[in-house]
A and B are shown apart, each in its own frame.
Chain A
Amino acid sequence: MEPVYSIRPVLAIAVSLACAFLIVLTGEKRRNLREFWTLAASVLGCTIVVSMFPHIYHGGEYIFTMVSIVPGVGLDFRVDAFGMFFAFLSSFLWIFTSIYSIGYMRALKEHAQTRYYFAFAACIASAVGIAFAGNLLTLFIFYEMLTMSAFPLVIHEETPEALYAGKKYLAYTLSGGALVLLGMAIAYTLAGTLTFTSHGFLAGHGSAQMLKILFAIFIMGFGVKAAIIPLHSWLPSAMVAPTPVSALLHAVAVVNAGIFGIVRVVCSVYGIELVASLGLGLPLAIVASITIIVGSLFALAQDNLKLMLAYSTVSQLSYIILGAALLSPSALSGGVVHIAHQGFMKITLFFCAGAILVQTGKRNMSEMNGIGRKMPLTMMGFTMCAFGMIGTPPMCGFITKWYLGLGALEAGHPIFIVVLLASALLNAAYYLPPVYNAFFKEPDASLKGKEASWWLLAPILVCAAISLMLGIIPTTSYMPLQLARTFLGIGGM
C-alpha cells in the first residue's frame, strides 16, 4: 500500500509540546486550568494517534518529511504498525496517568507541580516522536530529548537521594546515548542512509565483523534505557521519583524507548534475515535470559514495593528483547505485544503502590499486611496484574508467554522455555506473598486508611480491566496482538 503523506504524526507530537508550554504559562496559581491543559492534550494527542489507526492496521503507512540534516537523512516521520503501537500505548496511558497524577500530586501536596506537568508533557512528546521517527537520526533526537525531559521528574523530590539518582540516571543514559550516536554514525558511513525499511538497510554493507561490532554498540546503547543487566542500575535508583512518573515513564515510556530502539535495530536497521545470518540472535537471547532471571532474583530480595516493581520491570522488559532475539514470527509477535501487555499491567501495579502510599504512607511490603481489607478495590487491581505478571490465564501476561514459548520452539531453542518457566516461578515467588498477606493476614494496628479517591482508583481499575481484556480476546481485530502481526507482516487483517 502506498504511504500517505500526512502531517498527523507531527501534530500528535506538537499537541504535547504545545501543552507543555501552556502549562508553564498558566502556572501554579491557576492550577485547575493547568491540569485542564494536560488532560485536554492527552485526549487530543491520543485521538490524533487513534485517527491513524485504521489505515495503519490495514498495512498502510503515513509519512511526513521536514528539514534535511545530512544528505539523505532529515527530520522524517513515518508511522508504521510498530510505531503506532508505541505511540498509542504512551499517549493512551498518559490520559490515565494524568488523571492519577492530579489525585496523587494534590493528595501529597507536592511542590513544583508546574515543572512536573511540563516535564511530563515534554516526555510524552518525545516518546511519540520516537515512535513516529522515520529514521535513526530522528529517533535519536527524540531519544535524547526524552532523556533530558525525564530528568526533572527523576529528581523531583530534590532530596540528596533524588539528586544522586538523577546523576546516576544522566550518567547511564547519556553514555548510552553516546554509544547510539557512535553506532548511528558508523551505520550512516556504511550504508549512506538511516531510513528504516521493513527489511533493514544494512544488508550488503560492511563486513560481517563490522556489523557484529556495530550491533553490540547499538544493543549497549539502547540497552541502558531498556535496563539490560548490567546496565540497569539507574532504574531502581530512579524509583525515588513520584509514583506516576515511575508508573508511566519507568515502566512504560522511557524504558520502552530503549526496547523500541532495540526492536527497530533488529527489524528495521539490520532486518531479521541479516541478524539471523550473522548469528546475532542467540547471544542477544542469552543476555535477555540472564536479565530475566537475575532481575527476578533481585526483585525477590526487595521489601520496598516500588523497588520490587522496578526489578520486575527489568526482568519483564527482557521478555521483549528475548522475543526480538529469537527471530521467529511467533516470538517476535509475543515480544512486541508484551510492550503493551507489560505496560498495562505494570502501570496498574505502580498505580496501586502509589495509592497505598497516598492513603497509608507505607512503602514497604512488610508493613502492608491486611491492606486488602482496607483498600479492597486497589488490591483487587494489584492482584489481577500480579497474576498477569506471573503469566496466569486469562490475564494478558499469559498470551505473551504463550507466543514466546511457541517462538522458542519455532526457533529451535526450546531451552528458552525453561527460562520462561523459571521466571514464572520466580514471579510467583515475589508477587504472591504480598497478595496473600494483603488479604489473609490481620492488619497491624498502625495501618490506617481507606480506599483512595476516584482520581486514583479509576485509572487502576480501568488499566486492570484492560489487562484482563487483552488476555481474553487477544485475537480480535484491532487488539495489540493483531497490530504486532501487521508490523511483522504475518497477517492479522
Chain B
Amino acid sequence: MVISCLPVIAVVAPIIGGIIAFRVGKTSEYARNLISVAATIVSFLAITAMAPAVLKGKIIEYVLVSGEIAPLPINFRVDFLSLFIAWECSFDWILATVYSHRYMEPLHARSRYYLFMALTLSAVIGALLTKNLFALFIFFEAMLLTSYVLVIHEETPEAMSAGRIYLFLGIATGLFMFLGILITYILAGTLDLGHGGILGGVHGSILNILFVAFVVGAAAKAGIFPVHIWLPVAHPIAPSPASAILSGVLVKEGCYVMIRVIYDVFGLELMRTMGVCKWLVLIAGITIFFGSAVAIKQINLKTMLGYSTVSQMGYIFMGAALLTPTALQGAILHIFHHSMMKSALFLCAGAFIYKTGIRDIDKMAGMGKKMPITMTVFSIAALSMIGVPPLVGFMSKWYLCLGALEAGKLMLMAFVAVLLLSSLMNAVYYMPIIINAFFGGDEHGKEIEPDDVPPSMSVPMVMLAIGIMIFGILVSISSLTLVRPVISAIFGV
C-alpha cells in the first residue's frame, strides 16, 4: 500500500480549475477555455502518475476526511479497476473539453457550461477512486446534480422536462442506493471496498432486498431497462460534447458500482449461493434487445445513439452478472471500449449539428462527401458498434460470448444469441447511415459547402477513431496488463 495525495489532486484540480475558469470567463473566453482544458489535463496526469505504482500491484490510499469529523471517513483507494476506468474517463474528458471550444461558441452560458463540466469530472473521478460506499454515494449524488446543469443547458422546455426526469429519477433511485448502503453498514459494520465481499457472514432474505436496492440504484445510473427512461431523453438534449461524456462516461459509473457491489460488497461466493445474478442477466438481456429494437425506429441521430447506449449498457451488466472471469473481463473491457465508441459517435453527431444543423438521420444522405473526416470517424465507430473485427467492439463482444459460454449453462446460450442478434440489429440502424452518407445522392444539404469541422473538433474525434482501431488489434495490452489483474484478484485465477 502506498499513501499518496495524487487521488486528491485528480479530484480537486477540476474543481479549482473550473472555478477559476468561471471567474476568468467574464473577461476572456479564450483564457477560460484554456484553463478548463488545463484543469482536465492536470487531473488526467495525476491519474496517470498513479499508474506505475498500481501496475506494480500496489494500492494507493489517502484519507481526505477522517472518521472523527464525518460520520464515516472520506478516503481514497486506487486499484486496477478504478485506475483503469478513471484514466479512460479523464482522457475522454480532455477530448470533449477541447471539442467544446468551437462547438460551444454559438451557444449561451458558456462559462456555466465549463464550470459544470469540470465539477462533473471531479465527481466522476471521486466516485471511481473512493474507498468506501459512503463517499462513493456522496460523489454519486454530486455527479447527478452537476450533470443536471449540463442536461438542461439549452433551457428549452424540452430540455427542462428532460432534466426533470433525469433529476427526479436520479434522486429516487439514489434513495434506493442509500437504503442499500445503510443496510450494508448495519449488517457488515463497514463500507470499505476492496476486500472481496463484506457481507460474508450474513444470511436471510434481507440480502435479496439489499441486492435489489443496489441494482435499482446502479441500473438507473447505467440506463438499464426499465429505469432507462431518462437516458434517451436526457443524453440527446445536452450539447453534443456533454452528450459524449454523459453517454460515454457517466453511465459507466453505474456499471462500475454494479461491479463493485457484486464483487466487493456481496462477493463472489455469496453471489453464487444467492443465485440472484441470473435475474440480473435476464434484465440485461432484455435491455440489450430492447435498446437495439427501439434504436432502429429513431429518426433523431442523437436519440438513436441514446438507445444504443441503453443496449450497450446491457452488455456490461450481463458481463458483470455472469460471474465468470472472462465475462467480467469482457464487461470491464467494454466499459473502456464503449466509452471510446460512443464518445466518438456523439462528437460526430455534434459535428453535423455544428456544421449543418442537421439532427435527423434521413437528412444525412451525401454527408460523407461533404464532411469526409467526420463521416469516416463515424463509420469506424459504428462498424465497431456492429462488432466488425478487428475493432474494439468486436473484442469485447468476443470476450462476453466466451464468458457466457464459460458459465456452461444451456440457458446462457440464449444470451449469446441475444448478443449476436443485437449486433445484427446494430447493423440495421448504423449501416443505412453510413451507406447513405457515402453512396447516397445529394438531395439534402445542397447549399452546404463541402467543408469539414475545425481541427479542435476533428482532432478529438480522430484520436478516438485511432483508439478504436489500435485497442482493437492490440486488445492484449489492455486486457492482459490492465484488466487481467482485476480478474485474478477477484477470481484467483
Q: What is A's interface to B at a CB cutoff of 8 Å?
A: 67-70, 74-75, 137, 140-141, 144-145, 147-148, 152, 155, 158, 163, 166-167, 170, 174-175, 178-179, 181-182, 185-186, 188-189
Q: Which of B392-433 contact A (CB under 8 A)?
A: 394-395, 397-399, 401-402, 405-406, 416-417, 420-421, 423-424, 427, 431
B383: Cβ under 8 A from any A Cβ: yes
Asked if B229 lies at the interface with its beta carbon under 8 angstroms from chain A, I say no
29 contacts between A and B (CB under 8 A): A67-B474, A68-B476, A69-B475, A70-B399, A70-B479, A74-B476, A75-B390, A75-B473, A140-B389, A141-B390, A141-B394, A144-B389, A147-B388, A152-B438, A155-B439, A158-B440, A158-B441, A170-B427, A174-B386, A174-B424, A178-B423, A181-B387, A181-B401, A182-B401, A182-B417, A186-B405, A188-B405, A189-B402, A189-B405
Contact flag A189-B406 (CB < 8 Å), given A74-B476, A141-B389? yes
User: Scoring B residues 308 to 327 as 1 if CB is less than 8 Å from chain A, else 0, what string do you get?
Assistant: 00000000000000000010
Contacting A70 at CB < 8 Å: which of B383, B402, B431, B473? Answer: B402
A185 to B420, CA, bound (A): 11
Contact A67 B473 (CB under 8 A): yes
- A residues in contact with B405, CB < 8 Å: 185-186, 188-189
By size class, the interface of chain B is 35 or more
Looking at chain A's contact residues, the main secondary structure is helix
- A166 engages B424 (CB within 8 Å): no
Select the residue from A166, A182, A185 with max chain B CB neighbours within 10 A: A185
Query: Are the C-beta atoms of B398 and A148 separated by less than 8 Å?
Result: no
User: B435 an interface residue at 8 Å Cβ cutoff?
Assistant: yes
How far is B440's CA from A69's CA once the two chains are assembled, in angstroms? 37
Q: Which of B388, B416, B424 contacts A175 (CB 8 A)?
A: B424
CB-CB under 8 A from B477, the residues of chain A are 67
A68 to B440, CA, bound (A): 39
For the complex, what is the distance from the CA of A140 to the CA of B399, rounded to whole Å? Answer: 15
Contacts of B417 in A (CB 8 A): 182
Cα distance A74–B480 when bound, in Å? 13
A155 touches B424 (CB 8 A): no
- 5 more contacts with CB within 8 A, not counting A68-B480, A179-B420, are A70-B402, A182-B401, A182-B420, A185-B405, A188-B405
Task: Report if A158-B439 is in contact (Cβ < 8 Å); known contacts: A140-B389, A141-B389, A182-B401.
Answer: yes
Do residues B401 and A152 form an inter-chain contact, with CB atoms below 8 A?
Answer: no
In angstroms, Cα B395 to Cα A186, docked, is: 16
Residues of chain B contacted by A189 (CB below 8 angstroms): 402, 405-406
A181 contacts B420, C-beta separation under 8 Å: yes
In the docked arrangement, what's the CA distance between A275 and B388, Å? 30
Report yes or no: B386 in contact with A185, Cβ–Cβ below 8 A.
Answer: no
Least CB distance, A181 to chain B, in whole angstroms: 6
The smallest C-beta distance from A254 to any residue of chain B, in angstroms, reads: 16
Which of A140, A141, A163, A178 has the largest count of B CB atoms less than 10 A from its CB?
A178
Which of B389, B424, B473, B476 contacts A178 (CB under 8 A)? B424
Shortest Cβ distance from A188 into B: residue? B402
Write the nearest CB–CB distance from B466 to chain A, whole angstroms.
15
Given the complex, which residues of B lie within 8 Å of A170, measured CB to CB?
427, 431
The one of B398, B439, B475 in contact with A181, judged by C-beta atoms closer than 8 angstroms, is: B398
A186 to B413, CA, bound (A): 9
